[in-house]
Amino acid sequence: MRGTTVLPGTPCAAPVAGVLPMHRLEVPMPNALPFAIGTFDTIGPMSRAAFPHRHTFYEIVHVTAGTGTHVLDLTRWELRPPHLCVIAPGQVHHWENAAGLDGSVVLFTEDFLLDHPGDRDVLRGLAGHPWLTLDEHDHERTGRLVAELHEEYRRGAEGFESVLRALLHILVVRTARLPAPVTTITAAVPSGPATRPGAVADAFARLLARTDPDLWSVRACAERIGVTTGYLTEAVKAATGRTPGQLVREARAHEAKRLLAHTDLTVRQVAARAGFADPAYFCRFFRRETGLSPGAFRRGGETHGGGGIHHDHRIESIARPEPAA
């Protein structure tokens, strides 16, 4: 599954000082369905983890009850159910002081979107402003659709995989219709060969979402996609209205914010993780992009009221629930 899923018993990313835990979607056998659905209880304790972590997969959460706070990247969302939330791969999130948390959790990798690849772009946009408050009608309709996903997944009848993909597509489309602003600008949906502008812009967005320092330059991304830097610039600007350079700088600054807010890495270490060999240059870059020095940003505690949080213990993968007998 291109590194997005692992076999049972394989731990998530090995604990390394200052590195945010990475959760992967565990599947029961090679080439098994890269999809899971359940309640917070049946999915397991990692579904309500109280420490900052990332996923390699998408998560859609339909919260029906509970109090507390959901912290997603650098924003805090107070629980006032019912809610619908989308978490994209690479985002940092955790739950604070969550009590009575109830609802449904839908987990899937990009491989599961093969019938509707354009849903990737919709999901990225939803993740930019993910906490959607549902009125009674939308809450009931979402609940019915999620219940259908639950039932189809539990029964595992012939053809259930294609039904799950269709139901998930409906859930994504309906979620995008909800009256909430989407602040993240995403690439256009690919509509042809890999070198057409829409597909190039989509590939560029996916590379930036990987938070890989080796890909945080326009030239490196162009080489990985297989186009010239000039063509990449034209394609991305046509799709987003912004240049690849602007989006690369934004991605690097955002990753630095995540590390400053959620880890106890030194500024030098954050600079290295954000792809800067010179900490002084990183500090100038960060101040130019955010208006604050890294130290001032961390002291401001945008999500935690102070320094970052560090967890260096081993994290279990989120496992697929056992099917009902």
- pLDDT per residue, tens digit, the chain (325 aa), is 333 333 333 344 444 555 666 776 765 544 467 899 999 988 888 888 888 888 888 999 999 999 999 988 878 888 999 999 999 888 888 899 999 999 999 999 888 988 888 898 889 888 877 788 888 999 999 999 999 999 999 898 999 999 999 999 999 999 998 875 433 333 323 333 344 566 777 778 877 877 777 888 888 888 888 778 888 888 888 877 888 898 889 888 888 988 888 888 899 999 988 888 899 999 999 999 888 999 888 887 544 333 333 332 222 334 334 444 4
What number does CATH give the domain 197-300? Answer: 1.10.10.60
d(CA 261, CA 87): 18
Burial class (CB in 10 A: 0-12, 13-18, 19+), 180: middle
The segment(s) of the chain belonging to CATH 2.60.120.280 are 5-177
Q: Where in the chain is the domain with CATH 1.10.10.60?
A: 197-300
Q: Please state whether the predicted TM-score (pTM) of the whole model is above 0.75.
A: no
DSSP 312: -
Residue range 5-177, CATH number: 2.60.120.280
**Angle at CA of residue 161, ends 156 and 162, nearest 5°:** 135
| Element of type H or E holding 78 | strand 75-78
